[in-house]
Protein backbone atom coordinates (compact mmCIF):
# COMPACT_ATOMS: atom_id res chain seq x y z
CA UNK A 1 0.00 0.00 0.00
CA UNK A 2 1.51 3.38 -0.91
CA UNK A 3 2.37 6.03 1.65
CA UNK A 4 -0.17 8.83 1.74
CA UNK A 5 -3.33 9.98 3.43
CA UNK A 6 -4.64 7.21 5.64
CA UNK A 7 -1.68 4.94 5.02
CA UNK A 8 1.71 4.42 6.53
CA UNK A 9 3.37 2.96 9.57
CA UNK A 10 1.58 5.24 12.01
CA UNK A 11 -1.70 3.48 11.17
CA UNK A 12 -0.70 -0.18 11.23
CA UNK A 13 -1.59 -1.12 14.82
CA UNK A 14 -4.23 -3.84 15.07
CA UNK A 15 -5.15 -3.07 18.68
CA UNK A 16 -4.73 -0.12 20.99
CA UNK A 17 -6.18 3.23 21.92
CA UNK A 18 -5.86 4.90 18.51
CA UNK A 19 -8.07 5.34 15.49
CA UNK A 20 -6.56 3.73 12.39
CA UNK A 21 -7.24 5.06 8.88
CA UNK A 22 -7.32 2.97 5.71
CA UNK A 23 -8.18 5.27 2.83
CA UNK A 24 -11.42 6.99 3.79
CA UNK A 25 -12.37 4.25 6.27
CA UNK A 26 -11.40 4.16 9.93
CA UNK A 27 -11.36 1.60 12.70
CA UNK A 28 -10.26 1.12 16.28
CA UNK A 29 -10.03 -2.14 18.21
CA UNK A 30 -9.12 -2.00 21.88
CA UNK A 31 -8.48 -5.69 22.37
CA UNK A 32 -9.83 -7.30 25.55
CA UNK A 33 -8.94 -4.85 28.35
CA UNK A 34 -9.37 -5.96 31.99
CA UNK A 35 -11.60 -3.51 33.91
CA UNK A 36 -12.12 -3.58 37.66
CA UNK A 37 -13.78 -1.03 40.00
CA UNK A 38 -12.16 2.10 38.57
CA UNK A 39 -12.50 3.62 35.11
CA UNK A 40 -10.08 2.14 32.57
CA UNK A 41 -9.41 3.78 29.22
CA UNK A 42 -10.31 1.50 26.30
CA UNK A 43 -10.10 3.88 23.32
CA UNK A 44 -8.66 7.41 23.06
CA UNK A 45 -8.19 9.39 19.86
CA UNK A 46 -8.72 12.73 18.14
CA UNK A 47 -10.30 12.75 14.71
CA UNK A 48 -8.86 14.61 11.74
CA UNK A 49 -10.67 16.98 9.40
CA UNK A 50 -13.27 14.45 8.26
CA UNK A 51 -16.57 13.52 9.90
CA UNK A 52 -16.57 9.90 11.18
CA UNK A 53 -19.82 7.95 10.70
CA UNK A 54 -19.43 4.58 12.38
CA UNK A 55 -20.73 1.74 14.50
CA UNK A 56 -19.23 1.10 17.89
CA UNK A 57 -19.55 -2.42 19.25
CA UNK A 58 -18.60 -3.25 22.80
CA UNK A 59 -18.90 -6.42 24.81
CA UNK A 60 -17.79 -8.21 27.93
CA UNK A 61 -14.93 -10.29 26.54
CA UNK A 62 -14.69 -12.59 29.58
CA UNK A 63 -18.27 -13.51 30.54
CA UNK A 64 -18.78 -15.95 33.37
CA UNK A 65 -21.43 -17.23 35.78
CA UNK A 66 -21.15 -14.11 37.96
CA UNK A 67 -23.36 -11.26 36.84
CA UNK A 68 -21.16 -8.20 37.35
CA UNK A 69 -22.41 -4.90 35.98
CA UNK A 70 -19.87 -3.43 33.57
CA UNK A 71 -20.30 0.25 32.72
CA UNK A 72 -19.11 1.60 29.36
CA UNK A 73 -18.78 5.39 29.02
CA UNK A 74 -18.40 7.42 25.80
CA UNK A 75 -16.80 10.86 26.09
CA UNK A 76 -16.75 13.47 23.34
CA UNK A 77 -14.43 16.42 24.01
CA UNK A 78 -14.42 15.59 27.74
CA UNK A 79 -18.21 15.40 28.07
CA UNK A 80 -20.01 12.11 28.75
CA UNK A 81 -22.42 11.61 25.85
CA UNK A 82 -23.46 7.99 26.44
CA UNK A 83 -23.32 5.30 29.12
CA UNK A 84 -24.41 1.69 29.05
CA UNK A 85 -24.45 -1.18 31.53
CA UNK A 86 -23.41 -4.61 30.27
CA UNK A 87 -23.81 -7.74 32.37
CA UNK A 88 -20.96 -10.23 32.55
CA UNK A 89 -23.18 -13.23 33.26
CA UNK A 90 -23.69 -15.98 30.72
CA UNK A 91 -27.25 -16.93 31.62
CA UNK A 92 -29.73 -17.61 34.38
CA UNK A 93 -32.45 -15.56 35.99
CA UNK A 94 -30.54 -12.29 35.98
CA UNK A 95 -29.04 -12.57 32.50
CA UNK A 96 -29.08 -9.41 30.40
CA UNK A 97 -27.08 -8.45 27.36
CA UNK A 98 -23.29 -8.59 27.59
CA UNK A 99 -22.83 -6.83 24.21
CA UNK A 100 -24.23 -3.77 22.46
CA UNK A 101 -23.92 -1.87 19.16
CA UNK A 102 -24.41 1.90 18.83
CA UNK A 103 -24.34 4.10 15.72
CA UNK A 104 -22.17 7.19 16.19
CA UNK A 105 -21.19 10.36 14.37
CA UNK A 106 -17.98 11.96 15.59
CA UNK A 107 -17.33 15.50 14.32
CA UNK A 108 -14.00 16.53 12.84
CA UNK A 109 -11.19 17.53 15.22
CA UNK A 110 -12.95 15.92 18.19
CA UNK A 111 -11.42 14.05 21.10
CA UNK A 112 -13.13 10.68 21.70
CA UNK A 113 -12.66 8.30 24.63
CA UNK A 114 -14.33 5.07 25.68
CA UNK A 115 -13.94 4.01 29.31
CA UNK A 116 -14.98 0.84 31.10
CA UNK A 117 -15.35 -0.24 34.73
CA UNK A 118 -16.89 -2.95 36.89
CA UNK A 119 -19.42 -1.11 39.06
CA UNK A 120 -20.48 -4.25 40.97
CA UNK A 121 -17.22 -5.10 42.74
CA UNK A 122 -13.44 -5.15 42.40
CA UNK A 123 -13.23 -8.29 40.29
CA UNK A 124 -11.73 -7.85 36.85
CA UNK A 125 -13.65 -8.54 33.64
CA UNK A 126 -12.38 -7.68 30.18
CA UNK A 127 -14.27 -5.35 27.86
CA UNK A 128 -13.56 -5.09 24.12
CA UNK A 129 -14.46 -2.15 21.88
CA UNK A 130 -14.59 -2.09 18.07
CA UNK A 131 -15.24 1.08 16.08
CA UNK A 132 -15.57 0.86 12.30
CA UNK A 133 -16.86 3.39 9.85
CA UNK A 134 -16.35 5.80 7.02
CA UNK A 135 -14.76 9.23 7.04
CA UNK A 136 -16.72 11.85 5.12
CA UNK A 137 -14.88 14.91 3.92
CA UNK A 138 -11.19 15.70 3.97
CA UNK A 139 -8.82 13.35 5.82
CA UNK A 140 -5.59 14.69 7.32
Confidence of residue 4 (pLDDT cuts 50, 70, 90): very low
CATH of the domain at 72: 2.60.120.380
The verdict on residue 3 lying in a domain is no
Residue 15, pLDDT score: 56
At 61, give phi and psi (nearest 5°): -85, -15
pLDDT digits over 53-108, tens only? Answer: 999 999 988 877 777 889 999 999 999 999 998 888 765 545 456 788 999 999 99
Q: What spatial distance separates the first Cα and last Cα of the chain, rounded to whole Å? A: 17
Percent of the chain exceeding pLDDT 70 equals 81
Residue 64, pLDDT score: 74
Q: How many domains does the chain have?
A: 1
User: Which residue range(s) make up the domain with 38?
Assistant: 9-136
Helix, strand and coil in the chain, % to nearest 5: 0, 55, 45
Residue 8, pLDDT score: 37
Q: What is the pTM of this model?
A: 0.82
Q: What's the CA gap between 40 and 124, in Å, rounded?
A: 11
Residue 140 in this model has a pLDDT that exceeds 60: no
The verdict on residue 1 lying in a domain is no
Residue 139, pLDDT score: 60
Q: What is the mean pLDDT of the chain?
A: 83
Q: Which of 47, 32, 62 is nearest to 130 (CA)?
A: 32
The verdict on residue 106 lying in a domain is yes
Task: Give the mean pLDDT of 14-39.
Answer: 87
Fill in the DSSP letter of residue 89. B
The verdict on residue 2 lying in a domain is no
The verdict on residue 4 lying in a domain is no
Amino acid sequence: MPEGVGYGPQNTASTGLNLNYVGNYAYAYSGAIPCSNSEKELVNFTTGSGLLVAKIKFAVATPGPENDQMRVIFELNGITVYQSILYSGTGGTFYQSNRETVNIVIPSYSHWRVLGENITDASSRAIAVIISGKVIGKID
